[in-house]
Structure 1
Amino acid sequence: MSQTTNIMGIPFPNVTMNQTVAILGEVVDQENNKLFHVITGNPEIVMSCQQNASLRKIVDQAGLVTADGAGIVMVSRFRGGQLTERVTGCDLLFRLLEEGDQKHWSFYMLGAEENVSEQAVKVIAQHYPGVIVKGRHHGYFRADEEQQIVEEICTAQPDFLIVALGAPHAEHWINKYRHQLNARVAIGVGGSLDIVAGKTKRAPAIWQKLNLEWLYRLLSQPSRWRRQLILPRFAVRAMLFREPK
């Protein structure tokens, strides 16, 4: 794999979206029984890793950590790194669906509300008819229901397990059951199924191009203001961060 850029102790491989999709395609083709865990590393995950040792271990053991967010790329450039573009969970999911439409990849969708999960699968069937959705389950399950869900995923044997439980819950959940899931690749994608289903709209292309998607979300959902405070905190800490000697 290509060289990495270190941000607050987290190594980010210098991979583009196209390279990421190619890597995951190779993983699917290899038919390896070992789960390949992809973490879309956003500022929240990087910041959480500074205090959460268990999450840090999960990130360190992941097959691939992508630069999820303009803040990650911006800090990389400031510190002389080589990250060239964002590879967000949402963008990656849509690219995998596009590729999967041609290669007939299979997916299992876990997360979101029941009606959103159902609608997302309908949208996928309409726009990506070559994609095989082997199963789905909403994200509001009880602890005593988890094993049944795991067994369902194991039986389905999907190429891609898409987990929309929010970070870092999705990462912990994938890691907890990684030896039972029987999937090729598992990815935490935040609220991306809401976008697939049309419940939540993405920022217009110009906002995305200007790396201002976070601001668009804040303006359209003012209740997120507390969550967005982490972005300036991350930027300052990451730019001033010194690697331990």
Structure 2
Amino acid sequence: MNFRKADILGIEVASLTMQEAVAEAEKFMDGTAPRLIATANAEMIMRATHDDELKNILNTADLVVPDGAGTVWASNYLGIEMPERVAGFDLVQNLFANAPAKKRRIFFFGSAPGVAEKAKAKAEKDFPGIQIVGVRDGYFKPEDELAIIEQIKKAQPDLLLAALGVPKQEKWLKAHMEEIGCPLSIGVGGTFDVMAGVMKRAPLWMQKAKLEWLFRGMLQPKRIGRLMALPRFVFAVKAYKKMVNKKALNG
């Protein structure tokens, strides 16, 4: 399905609902060609403005969803109505819910040693019958990559989730997705950490109030520097709109 896209600082983000994102992901998993879904929040988009490799990956991904209140705000501010936030964590949980009936095979790759195993146990408890066909932590050296790729290929997953952090996860998946041949790959950031109980997610009221970024900052003061990307993002989007409008006036 061709969704309307918002050009946010040079990154094209699909305007869609969670339900539509889940349906698209399911369609990708039903196919055989390797597909990539990226979950773009304000921090990722800001990083892409000075990381050409990441920018190219996002703009050639099969689907880029609006993960974050900032992305939704930017799209609406730039004139493309964005119906809702499609958080990567929630997208994955929806896919897990559908997985047992559809007999999906899922591989967890990333996070600190032991975390993916705990996330696997959580998924198996919450979604009886789910098939997590492999786990591998995200602490590895370049010489380990061949063995990791072989491990994933041997497991034959329909869905590969990589929790290596931005932009490492997107770059790793893009570099190896064709070789691995998994129908769908998604970079999922801290998803395994939340599932494993290593990191808390914001209370529902803070999620609804679009304050998850503040909650993360309160829990992890070291993130404050990264969270400064949010005000920079707002200023950048406002400047971008002025530039786009000026170009349109000048023909």
Instruction: Give the 5 Å matches for 1:96-107.
Output: 96-107=95-106
Q: Secondary structure at the match of 2:19?
A: helix
Where does structure 1 lack aligned partners over 5 or more consecutive residues?
Answer: none
* Deviations 1:16-47 (CA, angstroms, capped at 9, x unpaired): 111011011112223x2x21100101112211
Residue matched to 1:20: 21
* Deviations 1:208-230 (CA, angstroms, capped at 9, x unpaired): 00111111111222221111000
Q: Secondary structure at the match of 2:169?
A: helix
Q: Equivalents in 1 of 2:180, 2:84: separation in Å?
A: 31
Q: Equivalents in 1 of 2:222, 2:56: separation in Å?
A: 31
Structure 1 ranges of 4+ moved more than 4 A: none
Residue matched to 1:42: 41
The alpha carbon displacement at 1:116 in A equals 1.1
Q: Equivalents in 2 of 1:74, 1:101: separation in Å?
A: 35
Residue matched to 1:227: 226
The alpha carbon displacement at 1:104 in A equals 2.3
Structure 1 range deviating more: 234-243 or 200-209 = 234-243
The alpha carbon displacement at 1:82 in A equals 1.2
* Deviations 1:161-217 (CA, angstroms, capped at 9, x unpaired): 000000000000001112111211000010110011111111000000011111111
Q: Equivalents in 2 of 1:51, 1:225: separation in Å?
A: 20
Q: Secondary structure at the match of 2:132?
A: strand
The alpha carbon displacement at 1:7 in A equals 0.7
Alignment TM-score, normalising by the size of structure 1: 0.95
Alignment TM-score, normalising by the size of structure 2: 0.93
Q: Equivalents in 2 of 1:186, 1:216: separation in Å?
A: 28
Residue matched to 2:215: 216
Residue matched to 1:195: 194
* Deviations 1:106-157 (CA, angstroms, capped at 9, x unpaired): 1000001122111111111111122111101000111110110011111212
The alpha carbon displacement at 1:102 in A equals 3.0
Task: Tell me, yes or no, if the aligned pair for 1:158 and 1:182 is still in contact at 8 Å.
Answer: no
Instruction: Give the 5 Å matches for 1:110-121.
Output: 110-121=109-120
Q: Equivalents in 2 of 1:101, 1:194: separation in Å?
A: 22
Instruction: Give the 5 Å matches for 1:1-245.
Output: 1-30=2-31, 32=32, 34-241=33-240, 242-243=243-244
In structure 2, what residue type is equivalent to 1:8?
Answer: L
- Number of aligned residues: 243
CA RMSD of aligned residues (A): 1.3
Q: Equivalents in 2 of 1:127, 1:109: separation in Å?
A: 16
Task: Tell me, yes or no, if the aligned pair for 1:110 and 1:136 is still in contact at 8 Å.
Answer: yes
Task: Tell me, yes or no, if the aligned pair for 1:162 and 1:188 is still in contact at 8 Å.
Answer: yes
